[in-house]
Amino acid sequence: MKALITEAVHPCLIEGIESIGYYCDQKLGISMEEVMTIIENYEAIVVNSRLHLDRAFFDRAHRLKFVARTGSGMEIIDQKYAEGKGVQCFNSPEGNCNAVGEHALGMLLALLNKISTGNIEVLNEQWQREANRGLELDGKCVAIIGYGHTGKAFARKLRGFDVEVLAYDKYVKGFRSDFVHESSLDEIYKKADILSLHLPLTDEVKLWLNKDRIRLFKKPFFLVNTARGKVVKTTDLIEALESGKIRGACLDVLENERFDRYSDQDWAWFYALKKQKNIILTPHVAGWTVESKERLARVLVDKIRTYYY
């Protein structure tokens, strides 16, 4: 049996797949077009977020037994169709949730304390102390939308601060603890100083944060998005940043992350976003650490082995 490895993965993932009887064929950076021409020769495939496995893919992949996704988001895989064809789908959200929690907190602290702008100014020989006066996290109300692996990890990182943590998840209930209060959306709209999004990308939550929802917040707030870019309507975010309704934003993800495929409209909102002084942007790396690369692999190996044995 053969497994197609399409991305650079930790060696322990290859070792684990080979330990159950597969030969791993590494074709790093292979295009979707190339995958379609050869997938009928493989019983397994390992992907990250670059390739999208749709119905046409699974119709071609006659011998496929499983898909291993090194990460959390399953929007790149037509999972229901795959499983209807007997293809098992694995992902590993447990593997990088700690990294996401740390990154979200790091971005938030950097934004509140103007670390990014201060760094750039000092490098440009500008010493502006008053202009870089920051805000403390202590005393704020932090609202978490989506209380899965990454939402919980972010909440744990906040335990060392004197903050009120509210969390809402439509599908998870009964998770109140000594540092997290299970909340309603109405309570979040009323009390949030900081909003952190931890939602998987589904049709239900596309453009979840838009101008209509932003209006429901009683106070101006800071936004942290380490989930998916399409959860936020960027043009409405820019409008809220310009009006002051959103005081600042930490964005690890964008509505469109492929600069090589930008339309004129995409460039228009991107340049408008760049003009904002109260934002921090990172290139979808919240879960992208040395430690998480290995942890993602080990989680997948454990799941695959459990399925086979």
- Where is pLDDT greater, at 178 or 225? 225
Report d(CA 42, CA 33) in Å as an integer.
15
**Does residue 260 share a domain with residue 206?**
yes
Burial of 124 (0-12, 13-18, 19+ CB in 10 A): exposed
pLDDT confidence of residue 72 = 86
The SS3 of residue 201 is: coil
CA dist., res. 215 & res. 125, Å (int):
40
Q: Tell me the H-state helices in the chain.
A: 11-19, 32-38, 55-60, 79-84, 93-112, 115-123, 149-157, 185-191, 211-214, 234-243, 264-274, 290-308
Determine the average pLDDT of the residues in 258-285. Answer: 96
pLDDT at residue 309 greater than cutoff 80? no
Q: Are residues 73 and 132 in the same domain?
A: no
| 79-to-47, 83, 204, 274, 302 alpha-carbon distances in Å | 13, 6, 16, 36, 20
Taking the alpha carbons at both ends of the chain, their separation in whole angstroms is: 16
Domain assignment of residue 169, given as a range: 95-281
Do residue 181 and residue 33 come from a single domain?
no
Q: Two tokens at 49?
A: 């977020």
Say what the pTM is.
0.93
Mean pLDDT to the nearest integer, 183-201:
97
CA distances from 285 to 67, 85, 107, 153, 253 (A): 23, 33, 12, 16, 8
pLDDT category at 168 given cuts 50, 70, 90 is very high
Residue 180 falls within a domain, yes or no? yes
- 109 in a structural domain: yes
What pLDDT is recorded for position 178?
Answer: 83
**Tokens 């290995």 belong to residue:** 294
| Pair (159, 227) in one structural domain | yes
Q: Which SS3 state, helix, strand or coil, does residue 233 take? A: coil
Give the pLDDT mean for 146-171.
96
So what's the pLDDT on residue 56? 97
pLDDT band at 176 (very low <50, low <70, confident <90, very high): confident
Looking at the fold, whether 33 and 68 belong to one and the same domain comes out as yes
Q: Please enumerate in sequence order all residues whose Cβ is within 8 A of that of 68, keeping only pairs 6 or more positions apart, or say none.
A: 13, 17, 44, 45, 46, 47, 90, 91, 300, 304
- pLDDT for 91 equals 95
Model pLDDT for residues 110-136, shown as the tens digit of each residue: 999 999 999 999 999 999 999 999 999
What integer pLDDT is reported at residue 175 of this predicted model? 85
Q: Residue 99 CB: number of other CB atoms within 10 A?
A: 23
| Domain-embedded: residue 138 | yes
Residues 51 and 108 in one domain: no
The percentage of residues in the chain with a pLDDT greater than 70, rounded to a whole number, is: 100
Q: Is residue 294 part of a domain?
A: no
pLDDT: which is higher, 220 or 174: 220
Closest to 233 (Cα-Cα) out of 219, 248, 212, 247: 212
Residue of 309 and 107 predicted with greater confidence:
107
pLDDT in tens, 13-34: 999 999 999 999 999 999 999 9
What confidence category does residue 49 fall into, taking pLDDT thresholds of 50, 70 and 90?
confident
Of 76, 91, 106, the position where a domain reaches its end is 91
Mean pLDDT of the chain: 96
Instruction: Give yes or no for a contact between 166 and 194, defined as CB atoms under 8 angstroms apart.
Output: no
Residue 38 pLDDT grade (very low, low, confident, very high; cuts 50, 70, 90): very high
Instruction: Report the percentage of the chain scoring pLDDT > 90.
Output: 94
Same domain, 38 and 131: no
Q: Do the domain assignments include residue 293? A: no
State the virtual CA torsion across 67, 72, 74, 80 in degrees, nearest 10. Answer: 70
Q: Is residue 302 part of a domain?
A: no
As for how many domains the chain has, the answer is 2
Q: What is the pLDDT of residue 138?
A: 96
pLDDT of residue 308: 84
Q: Do 120 and 12 lie in a common domain?
A: no
Is 196 inside a domain boundary? yes
- 244 and 107 in a single domain? The answer is yes
Which amino acid does the sequence have at 294?
Answer: E
CATH number at residue 82: 3.40.50.720
Please give the pLDDT value at position 257. 95
Please indicate, yes or no, if residue 71 is contained in any of the structural domains.
Answer: yes
pLDDT band (50, 70, 90) for residue 278: very high
- Asked if 163 and 59 sit in the same domain, the reply is no
Backbone angles phi, psi at 108, to 5 degrees: -65, -45
Q: Which pLDDT score is estimated for 102?
A: 98
Determine contact, residues 106/288, Cβ cutoff 8 Å.
no
Query: In the numeric block, which tokens belong to residue 129?
Result: 């102390």
The verdict on 64 and 107 lying in the same domain is: no
- Indicate whether 59 and 27 sit together in one domain: yes
Q: Give the pLDDT of residue 73.
A: 86
